[in-house]
Amino acid sequence: MNLLHRWLCSSARWKEVVQCHALPWTLDGIDLGAEVLEIGPGYGAATELLQQRVRNLTCVESDGTLAERLRLSFSGKVAVRSEDATASSLPDASFDGVVCFTMLHHVGSVELQNRVFREVVRLLRPGGIFAGVDSLKSRFMRLTHLFDTLVIVDPETLPERLTTAGFERVQVDLNPYAFRFRATKPRAESRPRC
């Protein structure tokens, strides 16, 4: 992230936006279960509330400095791993729920985003839920990401991408600034009838 973006994401204002708007809207009406994974927690604005809502929270953060900061901030209450979300070392079917908050646009390409989706399918237990939120394309997004990674997720194509990755019951909702999504890992492999 560039300096402006780091400043914004570590600010009290951004923490308020995530905790008072993005997180409640994303999780409205869904149960994440007891074992939850947060992908790309950054400075931990959502992590702070999530760790109070679930029994066990694990975070995967690719930035080693941010991962260490999270470890210190949550002092053992949250398992923090400094890993790539496209291919983590976590075991299959480890989580009831996986979440990400305004981080998908930091993943370097559409193909890498699709790998994240496939990795989430691998990590979820059957019937588990994947939920998240991300920003819509805007001038503000372009300005805050100058000389930074910015691969906007198109909410129009997201349902097909999540279905292709292996999810079902995909839902995408928009507001003027962002979109949220929910998708479920199928409870059982579908077998062809003979």
Plot region of 185 (φ>0 → left; ψ -120 to 50 → alpha; else → beta): beta
Would residue 189 count as lying in a domain? Answer: no
Segment (H or E) for 16? helix 12-17
Contacts 24+ apart (CB under 8 A), 1-5: 1/106, 1/148, 1/149, 2/144, 2/145, 2/146, 2/147, 2/148, 4/144, 4/146, 5/144, 5/145, 5/148
The whole-number pLDDT of residue 17 equals 84
Would residue 39 count as lying in a domain? Answer: yes
Would residue 75 count as lying in a domain? Answer: yes
Mean pLDDT in order along the chain per 10 residues (194 residues) = 65 82 94 97 94 96 95 93 96 98 93 98 98 86 69 96 98 96 87 49
Q: How many domains would you assign to the chain?
A: 1
The whole-number pLDDT of residue 66 equals 94
Would residue 22 count as lying in a domain? Answer: yes
Would residue 193 count as lying in a domain? Answer: no
The whole-number pLDDT of residue 6 equals 65
Q: Are 135 and 185 in contact (CB under 8 A)?
A: no
Strands (E) across 4-123 are located at 35-39, 56-60, 79-81, 95-101
From residue 101, how far is each of 57, 83, 190 by CA, in Å? 15, 17, 31
The whole-number pLDDT of residue 12 equals 83
The whole-number pLDDT of residue 150 equals 83
Q: What is the CATH number of the domain that holds 130?
A: 3.40.50.150
Would residue 192 count as lying in a domain? Answer: no
Q: Widest CA span of the chain, in angstroms?
A: 59
Would residue 93 count as lying in a domain? Answer: yes
Would residue 194 count as lying in a domain? Answer: no
Q: List the domain range (segments joined by +) for residue 35.
A: 3-184
